[in-house]
C-alpha cells in the first residue's frame, strides 16, 4: 500500500469515528426512570437502616478480648510477680532454668533485694 | 437543592451527597452518568437491549458502593467505565459472539441534509459492525480512545494496563478496522470524499 493510500484510509477511519461520535446512542426515558428508581430505592434503604454503631477503639477491643477488667487485674498481678521473680529469683528457679537452657546463669541476673537480711539472721543466731 | 445548582459539582462530590441521602444528587448523577454507561455498553455490545441492562446494573453497583467511596482514589467515570466493560465482557463470554447490530438511534441534526445524514448513519453502522469483529480488549481501547475521546493514561487506568499496552491495542484495532471498512469504501461514500 502506498503512503497516499494509507493517508486516505486513515481519513476514512477518522470519518467513521466522526460519524460514530455524532450518532451517540442516547438512553431511553424508560432506562433513565429505572436507574433513578434504583438510586432512590438505595437511598431509602439507607435511611431505613439503623445507624451503624460507632467504631470501637483498639484499647477497648483489646480489653474485651482479654475478658474485661477482672482479667486485666489478674494479668497485672502475674506481671508484678514475674518482675519480682526476675529481679530476685529463688536458687531452685535459677538452677532449673540454667539446666533447661544448658548454660550458667550470669550473676548479674541475681539481685539480692534485701542484702542485710542474712547478716541480721546471723547476728541473731550469734546473740543466742 | 435545585438540579442546576449541581452543574459545577464534581461526580465524586455528588456521590458523597448521594450517600448522605440528597435526592437531587441522585437525579444529577442519573442524568450525568446513565448516557455514558449506556453509550459505552452499546459500543461494546452492539445491542441496545443488553446495553440497557448493563447500564442499569453498573449504576446500581455505583449506588451501593457510594457510602464506601474513598475521595481522591479514583474518578467515578473511570470506575463506571471499568464496571460497564467488565459486565459487557461477561455477557459476551456467556452468549458468544454474533450479536445482532441494533438500530442505533441518531440525534436529530437539522443542519445536515438527508443524504449526508444517511451517509453518516451508514458509516456509523458500518463502524459498529467492524468494531463487533474486534477482540474485546481492542474494541474497548478503540472505543474509549476514538469515540469516547479519552486520553491514553485514563484508558490505561480503566483497563488496568500500561499506556504502552493501550497504544498497542488501539493501533492493532485501527488497522483491523481499516481493513474491515476497506471493502465498503464506495458503498459508504468514501470514494466521493477524495
- Which tens digit of pLDDT belongs to each residue from B98-115? 444 443 444 444 455 666
CB A5 within 8 A of CB B115: no
d(C-alpha A85, C-alpha A30), whole Å:
79
Enumerate residues 6+ apart whose C-beta is below 8 A from A8.
Answer: none
Looking at the domain assignment, is residue A15 inside a domain?
no
Could B178 and A34 be called an inter-chain contact, meaning their C-beta atoms sit closer than 8 Å?
A: no
Judge if B125 and B177 occupy the same domain.
yes
Span B71-96, average pLDDT: 89
Looking at the domain assignment, is residue A20 inside a domain?
no
Query: How close is the nearest chain B Cα to the Cα of A87, in Å?
Result: 52
- Which tens digit of pLDDT belongs to each residue from B12-60? 999 999 999 999 999 999 999 999 999 999 999 989 999 999 999 999 9
What pLDDT sits at residue A19? 87
What pLDDT sits at residue B109? 47
Judge if B76 and B133 occupy the same domain.
no
- Tally Cβ neighbours within 10 Å of residue A114: 8
Domain that includes residue A116, residue range: 68-127
Q: How many domains does chain B have?
A: 2
What pLDDT sits at residue B162? 96
B56-65, B103-112, B161-170, range with the lowest pLDDT: B103-112
Q: Residue ranges of the alpha helices (H) in chain A? A: 3-22, 29-48, 58-66, 69-87, 91-101, 116-127
Judge if B75 and B123 occupy the same domain.
no
Sort out which chain A residues have CB atoms less than 8 A from B30's CB and list them.
Answer: 32, 35-36, 39
pLDDT at B148 over 70: yes
Query: How close is the nearest chain A Cα to the Cα of B191, in Å?
Result: 9
Sort out which chain B residues have CB atoms less than 8 A from A39's CB and list them.
Answer: 18, 26-27, 29-30, 59, 63
Could A12 and B178 be called an inter-chain contact, meaning their C-beta atoms sit closer than 8 Å?
A: yes
Sort out which chain A residues have CB atoms less than 8 A from B123's CB and list them.
Answer: 15-16, 19-20
What pLDDT sits at residue B164? 96
Q: Give the closest residue to B14 by CA, choosing from B56, B63, B52.
A: B63
% pLDDT > 90, chain B: 61
Judge if B85 and B137 occupy the same domain.
no
Judge if B87 and B121 occupy the same domain.
no
Q: How many domains does chain A have?
A: 1
Look up the ipTM and state it: 0.79
Could B51 and A13 be called an inter-chain contact, meaning their C-beta atoms sit closer than 8 Å?
A: no
- CATH number at B89 reads 1.10.1740.10
Which residue would you say has higher pLDDT here, A115 or B88?
A: B88
Q: Give the closest residue to B34 by CA, choosing from A3, A71, A38, A42.
A: A38
pLDDT at B194 over 50: no
Which residue in A21, A27, A42 is closest to B64 by CB distance?
A42
Q: Which contacts (CB < 8 Å, 24+ apart) does range A102-110 have?
A: none
Judge if B177 and B120 occupy the same domain.
yes
Span B139-159, average pLDDT: 94
- CATH number at B124 reads 1.10.10.10
Could B34 and A21 be called an inter-chain contact, meaning their C-beta atoms sit closer than 8 Å?
A: no
Span B108-128, average pLDDT: 69
Judge if B51 and B134 occupy the same domain.
no
Judge if B147 and B123 occupy the same domain.
yes
A19-28, A84-93, B4-13, range with the lowest pLDDT: A84-93
Sort out which chain A residues have CB atoms less than 8 A from B190's CB and list them.
Answer: 12, 15
Domain that includes residue B38, residue range: 1-100
Judge if B174 and B95 occupy the same domain.
no
Judge if B91 and B166 occupy the same domain.
no
Span A76-90, average pLDDT: 64
Looking at the domain assignment, is residue A56 inside a domain?
no
Which residue in B56, B60, B178 is closest to A13 by CB distance?
B178
- Which tens digit of pLDDT belongs to each residue from A20-56? 888 888 999 999 999 999 999 999 998 887 655 555 6
What pLDDT sits at residue B99? 41
Judge if B90 and B113 occupy the same domain.
no
pLDDT at B121 over 60: yes
Looking at the domain assignment, is residue A122 inside a domain?
yes
Sort out which chain B residues have CB atoms less than 8 A from A15's CB and list them.
Answer: 123, 190, 193
Could A11 and B43 be called an inter-chain contact, meaning their C-beta atoms sit closer than 8 Å?
A: no
A7-11, A33-37, A121-125, range with the lowest pLDDT: A121-125
Judge if B72 and B18 occupy the same domain.
yes
Query: How close is the nearest chain A Cα to the Cα of B176, in Å?
Result: 11
Looking at the domain assignment, is residue A17 inside a domain?
no
Sort out which chain B residues have CB atoms less than 8 A from A19's CB and list them.
Answer: 120-121, 123-124, 127
Which residue in B34, B123, B130 is closest to A15 by CB distance?
B123
Which of A4-8, B62-66, B129-133, B176-180 has the largest mean confidence? Answer: B62-66
d(C-alpha B174, C-alpha B193), whole Å:
20
Looking at the domain assignment, is residue A119 inside a domain?
yes
What pLDDT sits at residue A30? 97
Amino acid at each position: 500500500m502506498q503512503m497516499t493510500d494509507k493517508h486516505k484510509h486513515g481519513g476514512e477511519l477518522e470519518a467513521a469515528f466522526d460519524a460514530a461520535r455524532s450518532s451517540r446512542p442516547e438512553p431511553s426515558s424508560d432506562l433513565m426512570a429505572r436507574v433513578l428508581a434504583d438510586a432512590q430505592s438505595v437511598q431509602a434503604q439507607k435511611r431505613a437502616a439503623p445507624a451503624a454503631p460507632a467504631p470501637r477503639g483498639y484499647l477497648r477491643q483489646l480489653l474485651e478480648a482479654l475478658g474485661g477488667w477482672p482479667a486485666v487485674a489478674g494479668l497485672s498481678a502475674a506481671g508484678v510477680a514475674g518482675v519480682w521473680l526476675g529481679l530476685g529469683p529463688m536458687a531452685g528457679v535459677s538452677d532449673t532454668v540454667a539446666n533447661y537452657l544448658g548454660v550458667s546463669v550470669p550473676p548479674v541476673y541475681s539481685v539480692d533485694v534485701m542484702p542485710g537480711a542474712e547478716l541480721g539472721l546471723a547476728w541473731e543466731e550469734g546473740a543466742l | 437543592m435545585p438540579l442546576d445548582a449541581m452543574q459545577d459539582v464534581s461526580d465524586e462530590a455528588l456521590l458523597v451527597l448521594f450517600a448522605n441521602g440528597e435526592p437531587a444528587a441522585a437525579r444529577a448523577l442519573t442524568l450525568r452518568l446513565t448516557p455514558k454507561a449506556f453509550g459505552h455498553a452499546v459500543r461494546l455490545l452492539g445491542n441496545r437491549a443488553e446495553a440497557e441492562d448493563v447500564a442499569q446494573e453498573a449504576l446500581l453497583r455505583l449506588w451501593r458502593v457510594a457510602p464506601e467511596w474513598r475521595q481522591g482514589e479514583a474518578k467515578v467515570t473511570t470506575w463506571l467505565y471499568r464496571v460497564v466493560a467488565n459486565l459487557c465482557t461477561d455477557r459476551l463470554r456467556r452468549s458468544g459472539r454474533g450479536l445482532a447490530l441494533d438500530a442505533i438511534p441518531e440525534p436529530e441534526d437539522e443542519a445536515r441534509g438527508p443524504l449526508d445524514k444517511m451517509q453518516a448513519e451508514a458509516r456509523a453502522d458500518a463502524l459498529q459492525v467492524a468494531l463487533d469483529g474486534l477482540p474485546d480488549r481492542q474494541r474497548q481501547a478503540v472505543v474509549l480512545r476514538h469515540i469516547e475521546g479519552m486520553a491514553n493514561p485514563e484508558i490505561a487506568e480503566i483497563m488496568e494496563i500500561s499506556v504502552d499496552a493501550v497504544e498497542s491495542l488501539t493501533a492493532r484495532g485501527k488497522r483491523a478496522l481499516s481493513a474491515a471498512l476497506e471493502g465498503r469504501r464506495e458503498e459508504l461514500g468514501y470514494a466521493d470524499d477524495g
